[in-house]
Amino acid sequence: MMTISVCIGSACHLKGSYNVVSELQEMIEEHKLGDEVELTGVFCLGHCTDAVSVQVDEEVFSVNSENVGDFFKNQVLAKV
């Protein structure tokens, strides 16, 4: 199972982590990946200047509402 961790700490929250979480939830449901992908919230990934920080495995990405679709396609769909 793939785990996607989205930072919901202060910096990421201010930069739209709620929207990123919502969009990822929709995409996971749309592609029927609920059994293969776990979406979690974490309080800090240590990349506050790159907010919204999203971790897949050991790699951290900077994701926002504009690039969340590309992130999902390249980092989630390509790996499940």
Which range of residues forms the domain containing residue 19?
A: 2-77
pLDDT digits (tens, 9 = 90+) for 49-62: 998 999 998 999 99
How many angstroms from the chain centroid is the CA of residue 21? 6
Q: Residue 65 maps to which CATH number?
A: 3.40.30.10
Q: What is the mean pLDDT of residues 54-71?
A: 96
Q: How many independent structural domains does the chain possess?
A: 1
Long-range contacts (CB closer than 8 Å, 24 or more residues apart) made by 29-34: 31/77, 33/76, 33/80
Given this model, what pLDDT does residue 42 score?
A: 97
- Read off the pTM: 0.94
Residue 51 DSSP label: P
